[in-house]
Amino acid sequence: MTRRLLTRALGLQAHEARPVLGGFALFFLLFCGYFMLRPVRETMGITGGVDNLHWLFTGTFVATVAAMPLFGWIASRVARRRILYWVYGFFAANLVLFALGLLRAPDDVWLARGFYVWLSVFNMIAISLAWSVLVDLFSTGEAKRLFPAVAAGASAGGLAGPLLGVALVGAIDHAGLLLLSAALLGGAGIAAWRVQRWRDAHPLATDAAHGRARPLGGNPFAGLVDVLRSPYMLGIALFVVLLASANTFLYIEQARLVEAAFPDKAAQTRVFGLIDATVQALAIVSQLFITGRIAQRLGIGVLLVGVPLLVGAGFAWLALAPSFGVFVAVMIVRRAGEYGFMRPGREMLWTAVTDSAKYKAKNFTDSVVYRAGDMASAWVKTGVDALSGTPALAMLVGAAVCMAWAANGHLLAKAQARREADDTPAA
């Protein structure tokens, strides 16, 4: 009965309820563990000084670049269907080590900075890899139906994580939260295994040639090479850079406004948690009942263009009225729109690439390219603020970035539609 109601409400086919529930659980557990720790990370960033955030972004980029060869090595040598288990196991072990470090030296500044950088690298790779598994398992047509409902698991986890962290931090402290997050990451791996088993029982026509039981082969740097060789994937990389630039401009402005409005660290953490909860609640509604229908009836382009246009208008509003209230409204629209509409649409783009690119090029783009955009835009934002003496000019620059972002999204959606019609993955 529950499965029948689910398929009816979400517009799914009868046999698709199981993978939706499995994918939902994968993202719920992954994001619940991450968002338990995110408010703590944000407070640590402010503790280090808002004026030093560009250095933390730089450190994150360097750490991401250093991590990519290791990921590429695993992806080349481990069976495709087992890549996620190896990577998540490695990250869970990292969390245990950080927990032991916090138990031994809870006030160590460098340990805190290291954790800030590590969590910023972890979230990019772990989330991208979860999506890699799904774009590998589902066709484009299935993705349009299933991805929005699956992505709702991320929003539900993002809503439950901060609440769980607030409820438990007093009892188990930060080290306990890290250990709990490691356990949730293990559960996410089990959920991914369940979706793999469903695909085995309901194979696609092309599955026999794909060989998910075999390693991808190639070298650890194949992701970079694949992106540089493909105009389509270069377009996705540009989309990610523009997305990261808009996000970073708002992130640094967020830190500045929160620091000014809420000097107390506990209040800062509560504000970050409240924004997170509001964003995820709005995203869940859109993912479950709106996004999939838009993708099927109007195409991916609406998902990729609408949010950049709204965020661009928000930047212009902030340039005219740079208050905390206006910022909160813009930030909620940006993040709810990204999680609810743009992220599922962005992942659908990767269904039109080769098997190797779904893991290597995608993870390179989602992590190294994204963090490069973070780092570059953080320095640009810092420089513009220093030259102008007011955040208004940086907000206008952000609005211009959003217009380019929307145009790029429109072109990518057209390219993806052509590939779907031709049924030829991008090289």
Q: pLDDT tens across 102-114, in order?
A: 888 877 777 877 8
Closest CA to 61 of 367, 380, 381: 367
pLDDT at residue number 63: 86
Lowest mean pLDDT among 169-183, 203-217, 248-262, 272-286: 203-217
3-state secondary structure at position 271? helix
Residue 65: pLDDT above 90? Answer: no
CA distance 215 to 158: 32
CA end-to-end span of the chain, whole Å? 43
* Residue 93: Cβ within 10 Å count: 11
**More confidently predicted of 260 and 48:** 260
**More confidently predicted of 400 and 381:** 400
Q: Which residue has the tokens 């409240």?
A: 274
Angle, helices 265-286 vs 140-201, to 10°: value is 90
pLDDT at residue number 87: 94
Amino acid, single-letter form, for residue 381? K
* Residue 101: Cβ within 10 Å count: 16
CA distance 212 to 404: 37
For residue range 110-132, what is the model confidence (pLDDT) as tens digits? Answer: 787 788 888 888 988 999 899 89
CA distance 17 to 9: 11
CA of 28: how far to CAs of 1, 166, 188, 203, 362, in Å?
A: 23, 18, 8, 25, 21
Q: Are 371 and 283 in contact (CB under 8 A)?
A: no
Residue 339: pLDDT above 80? Answer: no
* Residue 174: Cβ within 10 Å count: 18
Amino acid, single-letter form, for residue 302? V
For residue range 208-249, what is the model confidence (pLDDT) as tens digits? Answer: 445 666 777 776 678 888 999 999 999 999 999 999 999 888
pLDDT at residue number 292: 65
Angle, helices 140-201 vs 17-47, to 10°: value is 110
CA of 61: how far to CAs of 57, 174, 232, 372, in Å?
A: 6, 25, 24, 6
Q: Are 34 and 165 in contact (CB under 8 A)?
A: no
pTM over 0.85: no
- Segment 351-356 mean pLDDT: 84
Q: Which residues pair with 426 in a beta bridge?
A: 353
Find the radius of gyration of the CA atoms of the chain: 21
Q: Are 76 and 220 in contact (CB under 8 A)?
A: yes
Q: Which residues pair with 79 in a beta bridge?
A: 215
CA distance 245 to 250: 9
Q: Which residue has the tokens 């590998």?
A: 136
% of the chain residues with pLDDT over 90: 24
Q: With left for phi above 0 and alpha for psi between -120 and 50, is residue 217 left, alpha or beta?
A: left
pLDDT at residue number 209: 46
Distance, C-alpha 226 to centroid of its chain: 21
Kindly provide the b/e burial profile for residues 212-225, where b requires at least 16 CB atoms within 10 angstroms of the residue's own CB: beeebebebebbbe
Closest CA to 119 of 27, 220, 39: 39
In eight-state DSSP terms, residue 392 is H
Q: Are 330 and 254 in contact (CB under 8 A)?
A: no
Residue 52: pLDDT above 80? Answer: no
pLDDT at residue number 281: 75
**More confidently predicted of 117 and 274:** 117
Q: Are 18 and 198 in contact (CB under 8 A)?
A: yes
List domains and CATH numbers for the chain.
2-422 (1.20.1250.20)
Q: How many residues in the chain?
A: 427
Lowest mean pLDDT among 83-92, 132-141, 185-194: 132-141
- Segment 81-108 mean pLDDT: 90
Residue 39: pLDDT above 50? Answer: yes
CA of 70: how far to CAs of 125, 215, 306, 371, in Å?
A: 12, 15, 36, 17
For residue range 159-201, what is the model confidence (pLDDT) as tens digits? Answer: 888 888 878 877 888 788 899 999 999 999 999 999 999 988 8
pLDDT at residue number 405: 94
Predicted confidence band of residue 406 (pLDDT cuts 50, 70, 90):
very high
Closest CA to 250 of 337, 364, 170: 337
Helix residue ranges, H only, 12-108 = 17-47, 53-77, 83-104
Predicted confidence band of residue 2 (pLDDT cuts 50, 70, 90):
low
pLDDT at residue number 230: 92
* Residue 66: Cβ within 10 Å count: 10
Any residues with CB less than 8 A from the CB of 263 and at least 6 apart, and which?
none
Q: Are 393 and 380 in contact (CB under 8 A)?
A: no
Q: Which residues pair with 353 in a beta bridge?
A: 426
% of the chain residues with pLDDT over 70: 85
Name the token pair of 167. 């409820």
For residue range 315-332, what is the model confidence (pLDDT) as tens digits? Answer: 999 888 888 888 888 888
